[in-house]
A and B are shown apart, each in its own frame.
Chain A
Amino acid sequence: MISPGIRQAAARLRDSWIMPLLLGLALFALASILIDGFASIRTARAILVLASFVGLAAVGQSLVIVMGGIDLSIPFLVGFANVVAAELFGAGLPDPVVVAVVIGMTVSIGALNGFLSKRFGVHPLIITLGVGTAALAAVMFWTAGFPSGSAPDWVTSFVSIGATTGPIPAPPIVLFWAVVTIIMIVVERSTSYGRRLFALGSNPRAAQLALVRPLRMWVATFAISGAFAGATGLLFLGFTGKAFGSVGEPLLFQTIAAVVIGGTSLIGGLGGYVRTAMGAIVLILLSTMLLGLGVQSSLIQAATGALIIVLVSVYGREAALRDTI
């Protein structure tokens, strides 16, 4: 017989952000035992850099899902930003101008996603899919499928696994991601935007009565998602050297997987970015570990799928219908 106190404590643990953290630590411990040399600075850096890309791209996905939506345009906007940035750097434009133009464009496309979905009441899945496809195809058409240009040195050293940031033995992108995570915690917990976001996600009608303007929130949140997709695409340029329109493709499901593994609910109104950041690390840890064990890459995807189903069965179940009436 389990006492109610223990059961309550177990439920609280299950619902807290400790779960993905423990999972990450357990995976790391397991990998260190199974693979010689896994527990090294070099491996940790590689995992953190890869997780940074997923984590940064998933900032928008996390916010949008908390709000009760979903954003499938992220992989397309990452590719879009990757190609446009390469072209503009190649054309010799000053770096700040390139960054401003690229982010400005992805922010506008994101805002369009939010506006069209909310204003006309169309499921964001369809709008973001259509708008994203059109946007990426447009730049690929513009470059005739062979984007030119390459990354300037500062972008390359920003994301390089071997790079350090002053005295800190990690590349700048990891620190950038850490700062973004801290900002996100503050935004979600202590700003009116954050409170409105969670209010809108947990009960859209009540939020509206509390004077939250849904259209404005949707436009702003999808615009933020566009901004981070743009930044991720730009930074990917430093990782790959040359532009690829398809560079973002794996992020379609990786961003959703990071959010879900972290324990944020697709119903909306529950979860938060800290969880998503840990979800991104767990995702990359798992694939790095299996890769290190010599598992073929397609089976790693299957394992990710199984992990999602098992994890969400443990802590992401919806309420039974009979309890909601």
Chain B
Amino acid sequence: MTALLGRDRRTGASVVLVLLVVLIGVNAVLNPARLAPAGIFTTIGLVAPLMLAALATTPSILSGGGGIDISIGPMIGFINVMMVLFLFEAGIDSPIVVIPLVLGLGALLGAFNGVLVAYVRLQPIVATLGTFLLFIGLTPWIMSQPGGDAPEWVLRLGDDFALVPVAFVGVLWFVIYRTPLYRYLMAVGGSSKAAYTSGINVARVRVFAYALGGLIAAVAAIALTALIGSGDPNIGQPITLKAIAAVALGGVSLAGGRGGFIGAGAGALVIFQLELALTSTQASTFMIQMIFGIVLVLAVLFNAIVGRRR
């Protein structure tokens, strides 16, 4: 547990975990049906895409140097459309073929961002703004209207097997955590100069971070396809800002090298629980957005103040 929290476990992540417990308590009163054991997998299926998008945004931020992949949202939308149009609609729907292809595509797209950042040496926000625009431009071009179908096994990943995509990424991260890669990633994020002088190949580690983010984005795309059961060219764009908010809520420092997957995942859960609680009180969408903005600001300020005092 503490392993997955990363070095920042006493500051950022603890705030978000407290917030999460409080919100689950509130929802247990307001929305017992959503949290009841009978519907728990449907609920997980609902939150999984955002949670995975937050996890996909995390490695690039951890890798430091102003690292951030803002193209994650549109990338998820792009993969969703590619998967539905070129695999499912073409009759290719065996999981043994689909999963490696989709994950490979995600890793490749992420690695492209990584190469732009680490080898072409563009500032991460600029490089991924470029690919952000490429993805939101190309997606409606290859599929102009929402449509298509997803095979049965994909749909079940949004329902009674909803835990599988999240668990897959959890296990993946745990494996990485047990290898030197994790230390390289945190070292590069903490101080790229120190990492460089101690012989770490900084550029390669950064490409790895972005490729990992892309791979997780592909898992998020599968979870999203499971949820909506089709391809939708407009669904990806709004995900980015929410995912960044989740990561920040979860105590991952945008300066790099501090934070972990548990915090980022919990941040996404907080956003989901907050929306759930507010929706059930019949609050308007504007009210929800307003409270969301205020909670985001207060939480990161609180993180900063607690972090400083430590």
Q: Which of chain A's residues 251-266 have a Cβ closer than 8 Å to chain B?
A: 253, 256-257, 260, 265-266
Q: Which of A43-51, A100-108, A130-138, A174-182 contacts B (4 or more CB under 8 A)?
A: A130-138
Q: Verify if B204 is at the interface (C-beta below 8 Å from A).
A: no
Of A253, A267, A301, A302, which is within 8 A of B123 by CB?
A267
Residues in chain B near residue A303, CB distance under 8 A: 137
Contact A266 B123 (CB under 8 A): yes
Chain B residue with minimal CB distance to A318? B121
Of B125, B126, B290, which is within 8 A of A137 by CB?
B290
Q: Which of A14-22, A152-160, A164-172, A304-312 contacts B (4 or more CB under 8 A)?
A: A304-312
Q: What 0/1 pattern do residues 286 to 320 of A give for CB contact below 8 A with B?
A: 00000000001011111111101100110011111
The residue in B125, B133, B135, B192 that gathers the most chain A C-beta atoms within 10 A of its C-beta is B133
Q: Verify if A2 is at the interface (C-beta below 8 Å from B).
A: no
Contact A312 B297 (CB under 8 A): no
Residues in chain B near residue A305, CB distance under 8 A: 129-135, 137
Chain B residue with minimal CB distance to A138? B290
Chain A residue with minimal CB distance to B196? A321
Residues in chain A near residue B131, CB distance under 8 A: 305, 309
Of B136, B254, B296, which is within 8 A of A123 by CB?
B254
Given contacts A121-B308, A126-B248, contact A302 B126 (CB under 8 A): no
Q: Which of chain A's residues 33-69 have a Cβ closer than 8 Å to chain B?
A: none
Chain B residue with minimal CB distance to A135? B293
Contact A122 B304 (CB under 8 A): yes
Given contacts A308-B130, A309-B130, contact A256 B297 (CB under 8 A): no
Q: Verify if A140 is at the interface (C-beta below 8 Å from B).
A: yes
Q: Verify if B225 is at the interface (C-beta below 8 Å from A).
A: no
Contact B123 A316 (CB under 8 A): yes
Contact A140 B286 (CB under 8 A): yes
Please measure, in the bound complex, the distance between the C-alpha atom of A135 and the C-alpha atom of B292, giving whole angstroms: 11
Contact B141 A141 (CB under 8 A): no
Residues in chain B near residue A316, CB distance under 8 A: 122-123, 126
Of B66, B138, B197, which is within 8 A of A266 by CB?
B66
Q: Verify if A324 is at the interface (C-beta below 8 Å from B).
A: yes
Chain A residue with minimal CB distance to B188? A321
Please measure, in the bound complex, the distance between the C-alpha atom of A309 and the C-alpha atom of B308, giving whole angstroms: 37
Please measure, in the bound complex, the distance between the C-alpha atom of A304 and the C-alpha atom of B254, giving whole angstroms: 26
Q: Verify if A7 is at the interface (C-beta below 8 Å from B).
A: no
Q: Verify if B241 is at the interface (C-beta below 8 Å from A).
A: yes
Q: Which of chain B's residues 87-130 have a Cβ closer than 8 Å to chain A?
A: 116, 120-123, 125-127, 129-130
Question: Chain B's nearest CB lies how many Å from the CB of A11?
Answer: 16
Closest 10 CB pairs of A and B: A302-B137, A305-B133, A134-B293, A133-B293, A137-B289, A130-B296, A301-B137, A309-B130, A137-B290, A141-B286
Contact A127 B300 (CB under 8 A): yes
Contact B254 A296 (CB under 8 A): no
Q: Verify if B139 is at the interface (C-beta below 8 Å from A).
A: yes
Contact B125 A304 (CB under 8 A): no
Task: List 20 A-B residue pairs with CB atoms under 8 Å apart, sorted by A's residue number.
Answer: A116-B301, A120-B301, A123-B255, A127-B300, A130-B293, A132-B293, A134-B292, A136-B289, A141-B290, A253-B133, A257-B129, A298-B139, A299-B141, A302-B136, A304-B137, A306-B130, A308-B126, A316-B122, A316-B123, A325-B197
Chain A residue with minimal CB distance to B290? A137
Interface residues of A (CB under 8 A from B): 70, 72, 116, 120-123, 125-127, 129-138, 140-141, 144-145, 253, 256-257, 260, 265-267, 296, 298-306, 308-309, 312-313, 316-322, 324-325
The residue in A138, A300, A302, A313 that gathers the most chain B C-beta atoms within 10 A of its C-beta is A302
Residues in chain B near residue A141, CB distance under 8 A: 284, 286-287, 290
Please measure, in the bound complex, the distance between the C-alpha atom of A72 and the C-alpha atom of B287, giving whole angstroms: 20
The secondary structure that dominates the A interface is: helix
Residues in chain A near residue B138, CB distance under 8 A: 298-299, 302
Residues in chain B near residue A134, CB distance under 8 A: 289-290, 292-294, 297
Q: Verify if B46 is at the interface (C-beta below 8 Å from A).
A: no
Please measure, in the bound complex, the distance between the C-alpha atom of A110 and the C-alpha atom of B294, giving whole angstroms: 15
Please measure, in the bound complex, the distance between the C-alpha atom of A102 and the C-alpha atom of B121, giving whole angstroms: 41
Please measure, in the bound complex, the distance between the C-alpha atom of A267 and the C-alpha atom of B203, giving whole angstroms: 18
Q: Verify if B193 is at the interface (C-beta below 8 Å from A).
A: yes
Chain B residue with minimal CB distance to A245? B286
Q: Which of chain B's residues 58-75 have a Cβ closer than 8 Å to chain A?
A: 66, 68
Question: Chain B's nearest CB lies how many Å from the CB of A154?
Answer: 30
Of A265, A266, A267, A312, which is within 8 A of B130 by CB?
A312
The residue in B137, B197, B202 that gathers the most chain A C-beta atoms within 10 A of its C-beta is B137
Please measure, in the bound complex, the distance between the C-alpha atom of A131 and the C-alpha atom of B289, giving whole angstroms: 11
Chain A residue with minimal CB distance to B307? A121
Q: Verify if B221 is at the interface (C-beta below 8 Å from A).
A: no
Please measure, in the bound complex, the distance between the C-alpha atom of A313 and the C-alpha atom of B293, giving whole angstroms: 35
Q: Verify if B190 is at the interface (C-beta below 8 Å from A).
A: no
Please measure, in the bound complex, the distance between the C-alpha atom of A296 and the C-alpha atom of B248, giving whole angstroms: 36
Contact B125 A266 (CB under 8 A): yes
Q: Which of chain B's residues 178-225 have a Cβ closer than 8 Å to chain A?
A: 192-193, 196-197, 202-203
Please measure, in the bound complex, the distance between the C-alpha atom of A189 and the C-alpha atom of B247, giving whole angstroms: 39
Residues in chain A near residue B133, CB distance under 8 A: 253, 257, 301-302, 304-305, 308
Question: Chain A's nearest CB lies how many Å from the CB of B55?
Answer: 18
Contact A130 B134 (CB under 8 A): no
Please measure, in the bound complex, the distance between the C-alpha atom of A219 and the C-alpha atom of B125, giving whole angstroms: 23
